[in-house]
Amino acid sequence: MPSLEQRTPKSIIRFSEDVNIGLGRLGFMSLKISVIGLGYLGATHCVAMSKLGHTVIGIEPNQAKIDSLKSGHAGFFEPGLDEELAKQIASGRLTFQSSHDEGSRDVDVHFICVGTPQKDGSLAADTSYLHSAIKDLAPYLSKDAVVAGKSTVPVGTAALLTIELTNLAGFAPNLAWNPEFLREGTALEDSLNPDRLVVGVTNQHSEDKLREVFAPMISSGIPFIVTDLATAELVKAAANAFLATKISFINAMAEIAEVSGADATQLATAIGYDERIGNKFLRNGVGFGGGCLPKDIRALMARAEELGVGQSVAYLKEIDKINIRRRDRVIDMLTQELGTLKGKKVLVLGAAFKPDSDDVRDSPALEIASLIQGAGATAVVHDPIALSGVNKKHPELTTQQDLMKAFDGVDAVVLATEWQEYRQLDPATVSGVANKLIIDGRNVLDIAKWQQAGFKVLALGKTIKN
């Protein structure tokens, strides 16, 4: 079994816009790589691998996605990614196709990046896309190739896939797990400059190949941690569970702050100075959303239950509940201020689950808007870029692209996603509201400025004198 290895702390490497690291130039080996599944993770990974100097084939059955990628559009908003995508395509190293062909036979490493969404009607993750990817790959898999899963999976999945692939391919594959820790909004930077690389392997060959893939990053000092398959799978689930726990912890403190006159933002700053606690992921507000944290804590609970140790992470149920309660709290505050929401008009600033993203999956902003609408008010939603996905999920909501028009006749405003545009908005330029009330759901507004413009300002986790 490979040992757990920790490298020296990373020095910062910068992969500049114009200069590829150029594996050959630096004496590293350029490999042939396939990336299977071209959503957020896969599309970003293709670009990162090509940027490192590898030859990359992106594979994805959805032809529309392939066409879009070929034309230099990732198909989602990620700052800087489309520019880099176009550059890598132009380099000749990055190509896309809708299925495997003979070219897959001499691929050194196949990265599997398909989605593992929450199953309908269950807390568990749906791993069906992984099984399809393995089935499609098997006829083209060579004995030396490494298959490295990057998707977030229930612990034990890689072992199952190994059996499945052995049966399909007729030999024992080099299956590895290499979880990804990128955040939307900083995806490429996170891929190329991660805090650590984690690879779960079952043989030396897989470890060696993955070391070759990431050679420039390892040589720059990024810690390269080698584990077994189960540990690598669990590292990712554990990291996301920890992050979710931090956010819900501070939001739980916010609940206490709200009834005791304390200020949760100051509290976070104060405890965050303790290096053992740290100040990251301690921003209180309407809570976490997106395609990862909510579904990953649920999948971890489901998997622990299956393994007979449900109690170990039963506390995550409370983490989930605290998170959901923050959304309800906004409705309570609105009701308290407006008497009733029936017949009122409320502007929700933000649709994306966080700024610099057009992802509206499990977005706190959209759930708040939907709850407002459900309480008998009209919820108007504004977002600088994420509006197109809103009505697919919430046809009941009204969207408004023009920020100034969005304020027209509203009885209250809720800032739910902390876009720079909202933080910088001069409240003196806002006109036409029926009632000057704003709830800062992310604790980012300059309260005095909004008050000077005549607004009553409320925020989560603190009591504001108006």
Binding positions for ligand UGA, rule: CB under 6 A: 152, 180-184, 240, 243, 247, 281-283, 285, 287-290, 292-293, 296, 353-354
Q: Is 402 helix (H, G, I), strand (E, B) or coil?
A: coil
Token digits of residue 52: 């490192």
CA dist 462 and 389 (Å) reads 32
Least Å distance, CB 152 to ligand UGA, is 5
Residue 59, classed as helix, strand or coil, is strand
| DSSP string of 338-366, one letter each residue | HS--TT-EEEEE--SSSTT----TT-HHH
For the beta sheet containing 174-177, the strands, ordered from the edge strand earlier in sequence to the opposite edge, are 94-97, 55-59, 32-36, 109-112, 146-149, 174-177, 197-200, 224-227
Longest Cα–Cα distance of the chain, Å, equals 73
Rounded to a whole number of angstroms, the minimum distance from the CB of residue 102 to ligand UGA is 33
* Cβ atoms of residues 199 and 227 within 8 Å: yes
Spatial distance between the Cα atoms of 317 and 301, rounded to a whole number of angstroms? 8
For the record, the structure tokens of 8 come out as 């020296």
DSSP state of 228: -
Q: Can you read off the two tokens belonging to residue 208?
A: 């060696």
Judge residue 1's burial from the number of C-beta atoms within 10 Å of its C-beta, 0-12 exposed, 13-18 middle, 19 or more buried.
Answer: exposed
Distance set, CA 307 to CA 293, 318, 391, 430 (Å):
21, 20, 39, 55
- At closest approach, how far in Å is the CB of 223 from ligand UGA? 15
Active site residue 46: no
> Smaller CB distance to ligand UGA: residue 180 or 320?
180
Of 140 and 353, nearer to ligand UGA (C-beta) is: 353
Q: Which tokens is 53 given?
A: 């100097």
Q: 462: which DSSP letter?
A: B
Closer residue to ligand UGA, CB minimum distance, 130 or 292:
292
At 393, list the tokens.
């999920």
Question: Distance of CA 312 to CAs 125, 304, 317, 321, 414, Å?
Answer: 18, 7, 11, 17, 37
- Nearest to ligand UGA of 28, 419 (CB atom): 419
Query: In this complex, which beta carbon is closest to ligand UGA, that of residue 168 or of residue 277?
Result: 277
Quote the least distance from Cβ 297 to ligand UGA, whole Å: 11
Catalytic annotation, pick one of 155, 175, 292, 351: 292
Structural contact between residues 426 and 454, judged by C-beta atoms closer than 8 angstroms: no
Comparison of 130 and 141: residue with beta carbon closer to ligand UGA: 130
Paired tokens of 396: 């009941």
The type of residue at 97 is Q
Q: Residue count of the chain, please give it.
A: 466
Q: For residues 125 and 430, which CB has a smaller minimum distance to ligand UGA in the complex? A: 125
Closest distance between ligand UGA and the C-beta of residue 364, in Å? 6
Rounded (10°) angle between helices 315-338 and 364-374: 50
- Give the nearer residue to ligand UGA in terms of CB position, either 247 or 447: 247
Nearest distance in Å: CB 370, ligand UGA: 16
Q: Give the residue numbers annotated as catalytic, written as ranges.
A: 292
